[in-house]
Structure 1
Amino acid sequence: MGSHWWRIGGSLMIGLFVAYLDRSNLSVGLPTVAQDMGFAGDRFAVTSSFALTIFLIGYALANILGGILTRRMDPKTVVTWSFAIWSIATVVIGFSSSLTVLLVCRAILGVAEGIYWPQQSRFARSWFASHELTKANSLIQYYGQYLALALGFMILTPIYQAFGWRPLFFLTGGLGLVFIVPLYLKALRPGTEAPYRETEGGRPNAPLTFEALGGLSFVFLVFSYVTQGMLFWGITLWIPLVVKSLGFTGWAQAVASALPYAAAVLCAIPIALVSDRTNKRVLIASLGLLIPGALLLLLPLVDAPAAKLALITVALGLYAGSFTPNIWSILQSSVAPEAIGPASGIMNGLGAGGGGTIAGFLVGLLYNSTGSYMPGFVILGGLVILGGLSLLAYGRMRAPRMAAQAAVG
């Protein structure tokens, strides 16, 4: 592979790895963070839900606004400054014992990461040819994310159990400041050097219209992404406590928390090969919502903790391996070039930010009322099935245009 795969794709993959450590450190250290900041006991469920999801509230707004407002800015500048800002906020949390400081810094983390996310699609579109987009998106936006979650819980959990929660924030924030920001300054290239910048930029002064975003079909695409955001964040925000409630402790808790994400990495490889060979991206992504949703609906039918963990693991693995590598290629192929950044921000803001916020509260509040995380997961299963059906509807709406494009090509 050419140098752009390592210089651009590899650097952004490593960056997203660290970014997801910054997102998940609070989930690992939450029990003692709650004790030190005074919201353990009766306040735990509600305050924890807010502490976990305030990141997503800022993330949702910043994805949408950031994707639109930064479309004329060089993505290298945006990602470098964004990373520096949220890394500082992460380190500040480690020095604090204030719930207010925690909430403010988590909101800053969400805003900065929300501005960061759409830039990845801009890098993909401007540095990689159209036939490389699925592989490029997998490298830039997939493997770093899921490797961080697969390895991160196994790295962060033992550190937390040995040294407490503060080193988690010093470590993850410090990695961004000491390693990622210098890496981006050295390795990433300005947009003016990108070989496909004319297709990424399109007509930068053109108005952002509904048609440029893809029209009505874009609405169906976004809805499917909202439900996947609910599935991903509803599980990810709570997974360390979920596996603990199932009886896994110590090192077993770390491994059990990582299993769904390790399954995602393993599933992605064969599924990506099938996707590239068949070009059935919409169908494969739809099945990546429908099948996991059905598996989560089965949770009340099994009693053994290992069986519940297995259903969650297979559901998240199939979803992530089937849906995530394909969805960004689908988006980038269906919107006007100048709308790539805004469309990515809108979809990820509403999906990951909005859907994730709702799911975080949903799972937490249902746990507070039932004493179990499973009712929330079952509801997520039903919602994600609706998302799979929405994506199939998107495919039917786009089919005539895609056929026409193929005939011209």
Structure 2
Amino acid sequence: MNSANVAAPETGDRILRKVAVRLMPFLCLLYFINYLDRVNIGFAGPNGMNEELGLTATAFGFASGIFFLGYLVLEVPSNLALHRFGARRWLARIMITWGVLATVLAFVPSATALIVLRFLLGVAEAGFFPGIILYLTFWFPAAQRAKAVALFMAAVPVSSAIGATVSSVLIDAGHGVFGLSGWRFMFLVEGVPAMLLAVATWFYLTDRPSEAKWLTEQEREWLTGQLAAEQAETESKHHWTLRKALTHPRIPALAFVYFGISYGLYALGFFLPTIIDGFEQQYGTNLSTVQSGLVTAVPYVIGAVAMVLWASHGDRTGERVWHVALPMLLGGVCIPVALYLGNPYLAMAAVTVCAVGVCAALPTFWALPSTFLSGSAAAGGIALINSLGNISGFAAPYITGALRDVTGSQRAGLWVVGAVMVVAAGVVVFLRAAPSTGDDKD
């Protein structure tokens, strides 16, 4: 072995901290803007958009979720393109197109146009999230990967928390600016950062450790050697080709697990503002738009802390499956009972536990595929898992909205959320017992 790759543990930790400090804040910022542009329709709906465009709960759920059908169309080819052309070029291209479409949403004239633009927004964003997950495998060894993913994905609850307040303020303060409704002004303002950050991405990101001029030559050699050795070991144990990664039944099984986690995430993301808005009728509360945004932020703030702590624990112990299954079970059991509780504080406590469960499961889940996928197989497999799993982004808001229209209550939709999460937790435990080798060899 090259002596450059034999380093004291503290030396390796120092190099990885340097990489994390360089990359993670910027990647978190990108995902913060990405997730906000994806779910800000959840704040627009109950604050004038549904009324202005004549959307029922079912139509609102359909418009929210059709984003993910567009996402599904180009997810795998987009991630393969990133693997081929490099992260900084491909991510910048994605961000420019999604930023333009996110801004155009401010001028949508009808429900039909909203649905079309949401679909195109999904097409534009395809490959962003799995591209980042793949990109992190280029920089962090497996033992540190769950924490790295957690730091990146902390942008989801942080975006939901800060975004709830920011979106509410923009809707409130922006009403009438440029002659726009408050929700239109919010879309206009929140679409611009993606375009600006696309330019920054082109110049700031480094595709691979071997190209990182901000690392010393010895640091580049050590990190490149560590990752190359790890990839060689993975390929010797699990010889997965791209074709196998796109056809093996283990991939759709993992996609269903991700479907369950995301089902809870998107049901909360799109309908939590509506649920809180309904507290006035159910509990007699009276919250302003900004106050509702602050209340919406609470579960995600706590979820962000839980996400990082739980992923760090998973990295220390090396255990992955139960670090995914247990929080999913916890969240799945708690969310259906939220609207049966006697006051809004207890209801929000149950919603918060669900958010903690979803947030804690997410980063450790993404440490699972890279235990047997590498190279182009990882690019295609991760993209396919994310693509199939994100069908929940369509199913969750559409089914939740449809059940609300049929029953007149959010309760039936939240029971479905809980059931899907519990079943998906069972699947990941089953996969733990199922062999991942043997027939994996070509």
**TM-score when normalising by structure 2:** 0.82
Contact 1:49 1:360 in 2 (8 A): yes
- In structure 2, which of residues 53, 59, 62 is the aligned counterpart of residue 50 of structure 1? 62
- Please state if 1:35 is matched with 2:72: no
Amino acid at match of 1:237: F
- Call closer, same or farther: CA 1:346–1:117 in 2, change over 3 Å: same
Choose 386-395 or 332-341, whichever is displaced more: 332-341
Contact 1:228 1:289 in 2 (8 A): yes
Instruction: Determine the structure 1 residue equivalent to 2:250.
Output: 217
Deviations 1:65-86 (A, max 9, x none): 4234554221221110000100
Contact 1:59 1:110 in 2 (8 A): yes
Q: Partner of 2:84: helix, strand, or coil?
A: coil
Amino acid at match of 1:118: P
Could you tell me how far 1:184 is from its partner in structure 2?
Answer: 0.6
Contact 2:136 2:148 in 1 (8 A): yes
Could you tell me how far 1:10 is from its partner in structure 2?
Answer: 2.2
Amino acid at match of 2:45: L
Could you tell me how far 1:245 is from its partner in structure 2?
Answer: 0.6
CA distance in 1, matches of 2:432, 2:183: 45
Amino acid at match of 1:388: A
Q: Partner of 1:298: helix, strand, or coil?
A: helix
Deviations 1:383-405 (A, max 9, x none): 1101001000111225888xxxx
Q: Partner of 1:209: helix, strand, or coil?
A: helix
Structure 2 gap segments, 5+ residues each: 1-15, 175-181, 213-222
Query: Post-superposition, which runs of at least 4 consecutive aligned residues in structure 1 deviate over 6 A?
Result: 199-203
- Please state if 1:113 is matched with 2:125: yes
CA distance in 2, matches of 1:286, 1:237: 24
Contact 1:262 1:317 in 2 (8 A): no
Q: Partner of 1:329: helix, strand, or coil?
A: coil
Tell which structure's C-alpha radius of gyration is larger.
Answer: 2
CA distance in 1, matches of 2:241, 2:321: 28
1:7-406 pair list within 5 angstroms: 7-31=22-46, 32-36=48-52, 38-39=53-54, 43-68=55-80, 70-140=82-152, 142-163=153-174, 164-178=182-196, 180-191=197-208, 193=211, 196=224, 208-210=242-244, 212=245, 215-247=248-280, 249-250=287-288, 251-299=290-338, 301-321=340-360, 323-352=361-390, 354-398=391-435
CA distance in 1, matches of 2:379, 2:436: 24
Amino acid at match of 1:182: V
CA distance in 1, matches of 2:58, 2:90: 34
Could you tell me how far 1:344 is from its partner in structure 2?
Answer: 1.5
CA distance in 2, matches of 1:271, 1:372: 33
Contact 2:80 2:376 in 1 (8 A): no
Instruction: Determine the structure 2 residue equivalent to 1:404.
Output: none
Q: Partner of 2:368: helix, strand, or coil?
A: helix
Amino acid at match of 1:350: L
Amino acid at match of 1:262: V
CA distance in 1, matches of 2:367, 2:247: 14
Amino acid at match of 1:181: A
Could you tell me how far 1:127 is from its partner in structure 2?
Answer: 1.6
Deviations 1:287-331 (A, max 9, x none): 02111111124346423232222111111112212x112011111
- Call closer, same or farther: CA 1:207–1:69 in 2, change over 3 Å: farther
CA distance in 1, matches of 2:422, 2:140: 32
Could you tell me how far 1:3 is from its partner in structure 2?
Answer: 4.0
- Call closer, same or farther: CA 1:351–1:108 in 2, change over 3 Å: same
Amino acid at match of 1:23: R
Amino acid at match of 2:201: Y
CA distance in 2, matches of 1:182, 1:3: 23
Contact 1:11 1:183 in 2 (8 A): no
Choose 333-342 or 230-239, whichever is displaced more: 333-342
Q: Partner of 1:72: helix, strand, or coil?
A: helix
- Call closer, same or farther: CA 1:208–1:399 in 2, change over 3 Å: closer
Contact 1:125 1:200 in 2 (8 A): no
Deviations 1:185-227 (A, max 9, x none): 2210134627548577999xx95222x4694433332211111
CA distance in 2, matches of 1:60, 1:53: 12
CA distance in 2, matches of 1:146, 1:200: 31
- Call closer, same or farther: CA 1:96–1:288 in 2, change over 3 Å: same
- Call closer, same or farther: CA 1:165–1:58 in 2, change over 3 Å: same
Contact 2:252 2:385 in 1 (8 A): no
The number of equivalent residue pairs is 390
**TM-score when normalising by structure 1:** 0.88
- Call closer, same or farther: CA 1:213–1:8 in 2, change over 3 Å: farther
CA distance in 2, matches of 1:200, 1:155: 42
CA distance in 2, matches of 1:129, 1:270: 19
Amino acid at match of 1:234: A
Instruction: Determine the structure 1 residue equivalent to 2:11.
Output: none
